[in-house]
């Protein structure tokens, strides 16, 4: 009987994944959970809301006989000056604003992480890439965006259509002008990581630089990259809203939260909710992401 006990195979538990450890730590932060809950509700509101809510007026359908209607069962948030359902326009506008934020964030993160990693890992590239970063940091962001919108909006509109061309122009313009902070943060992390023992050990056995970066360096800079990503989403949403507020964003019949805020300004005294609702949702989105 003792021999049978000794030869019985032991059950080895699988090690927990790194992502599970991150989630366990994330759950303990009450502010992070509240922010994630609010952001999830906003995403569901703008993505699933238009599929569930079927008002008589669609987003761009103008019915002048129903203009400036107060809130009712048919129009929970009333109608605008052209008779369009304001709740539907809030949903569709949020869909565009959040999409711009996430796509511009991915472009900015890709450019910033690539430049920061190359600058930190290869000493020969550090000087030129960091001077390029300083050059972009010295450029005034808003005037540069306005110039890009004026120069390329018509060209992209002819190539991809007005809505898609404007979307591509805005996300590319925001993405390529907001990567500098990510690059600086990633560079600092890579400079510290490439002197760590596990990187030196991998280098000593002849691991090529590409594999070193992909397998050993990048997985260890996820934390600052994620912080930069959240900040970039908020910045992109605000920047798109500023462009729409100035009348240089999407066309008037293509709603965004910034455009709705701009359209509500002339009616601020008679119908203040037209500016308050998009402003509140925009603030909630930025606050929850941060």
Q: Is residue 11 part of a domain?
A: no
| pLDDT per residue as tens digits for the range 60-77 | 566 767 777 878 787 788
Structural tokens at position 255: 């709603």
- Number of structural domains in the chain: 1
Residue 8 predicted with pLDDT over 70:
no
| Mean pLDDT, rounded, for 242-270 | 79
The DSSP 8-state label assigned to residue 258 in this structure reads H
Residues with Cβ within 8 Å of 42's Cβ and at least 6 positions away in sequence, in order, are 94, 98, 281, 284, 285, 288
Residue 174: which domain range? 97-290
SS3 110: helix
pLDDT one-digit tens code per residue, 197-248: 887 887 888 778 788 888 888 888 887 888 888 888 888 888 888 887 777 7
Distances from the Cα of 158 to the Cαs of 121, 170, 220, in angstroms?
A: 42, 15, 43
Residue 48 in any domain: the answer is no
Cα radius of gyration rounded to whole Å, the chain:
25
Supply the pLDDT for residue 56.
44
Percent over 70 (pLDDT), the chain: 89
- The per-residue pLDDT for 244 is 78
- Residue 239: predicted pLDDT: 85
Q: Is residue 68 part of a domain?
A: no
The mean of the pLDDT values for the chain is 81
What is the C-alpha separation between 3 and 242, in angstroms, rounded? 76
Encode 218-244: b = buried (16+ Cβ within 10 Å), e = exposed. beebeebbeebbebbbbbbbbbbbbbb
C-alpha 81/C-alpha 285 separation (Å) is: 26
**In this structure, is residue 290 part of a structural domain?**
yes
Band the pLDDT of 148: cuts 50, 70, 90.
confident
Tokens of 16: 């927990």
Model confidence at 11, pLDDT cuts 50, 70, 90, reads low
- Which comes out higher in pLDDT, residue 45 or 85? 45
Segment among 108-112, 159-163, 189-193 with least mean pLDDT: 159-163
SS3 253: coil
Distance, CA of 123 to CA of 162 (rounded, Å)? 44
Give the residue with greater pLDDT, 81 vs 42: 42
pLDDT tens digits, 86-143: 888 888 888 888 888 889 889 998 999 999 989 888 889 888 999 999 888 888 878 8
Whether residue 90 lies inside any domain: the answer is no
Instruction: Give the residue from 37, 78, 256 showing the smallest Cα distance to 167.
Output: 256
- Contacts of residue 242, defined as CB under 8 A and 6 or more positions apart, other chains included, come to 142, 258
Whether the CB-CB separation of 97 and 167 falls below 8 Å is answered with: no
Say which CATH number the domain at 267 has.
Answer: 1.10.3720.10
Residue 45 lies in a domain: no
């Amino acid at each position: 009987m003792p021999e049978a006990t000794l030869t019985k195979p032991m059950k080895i538990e699988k090690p927990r994944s790194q992502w599970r450890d991150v989630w366990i730590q994330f759950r303990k932060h009450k502010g992070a959970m509240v922010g994630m809950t609010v952001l999830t509700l906003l995403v569901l509101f703008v993505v699933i809301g238009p599929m569930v809510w079927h008002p008589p007026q669609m987003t761009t359908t103008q019915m002048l006989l129903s203009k400036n209607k107060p809130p009712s069962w048919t129009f929970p948030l009333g109608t605008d000056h052209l008779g369009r359902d304001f709740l539907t326009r809030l949903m569709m506008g949020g869909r565009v604003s959040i999409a711009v934020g996430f796509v511009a964030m991915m472009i900015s993160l890709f450019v910033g992480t690539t430049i920061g990693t190359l600058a930190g890992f290869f000493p020969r590239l550090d000087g030129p890439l960091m001077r390029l970063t300083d050059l972009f940091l010295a450029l005034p962001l808003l005037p540069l965006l306005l110039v890009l919108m004026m120069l390329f909006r018509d060209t992209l509109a002819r190539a991809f259509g007005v809505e898609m061309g404007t979307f591509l122009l805005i996300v590319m313009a925001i993405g390529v002008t907001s990567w500098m902070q990510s690059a600086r943060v990633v560079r600092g992390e890579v400079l510290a990581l490439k002197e760590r023992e596990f990187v030196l050990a991998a280098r000593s056995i002849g691991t090529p630089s590409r594999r070193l970066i992909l397998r050993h360096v990048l997985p260890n800079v996820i934390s600052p990259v994620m912080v930069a990503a959240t900040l970039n989403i908020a910045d992109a949403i605000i920047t798109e809203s500023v462009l729409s507020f100035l009348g240089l964003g999407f066309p008037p019949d293509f709603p965004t939260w910034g455009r709705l805020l701009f359209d509500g300004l002339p009616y601020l005294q008679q119908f203040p909710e037209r500016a308050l609702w998009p402003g509140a949702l925009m603030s909630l989105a930025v606050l929850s992401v941060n």
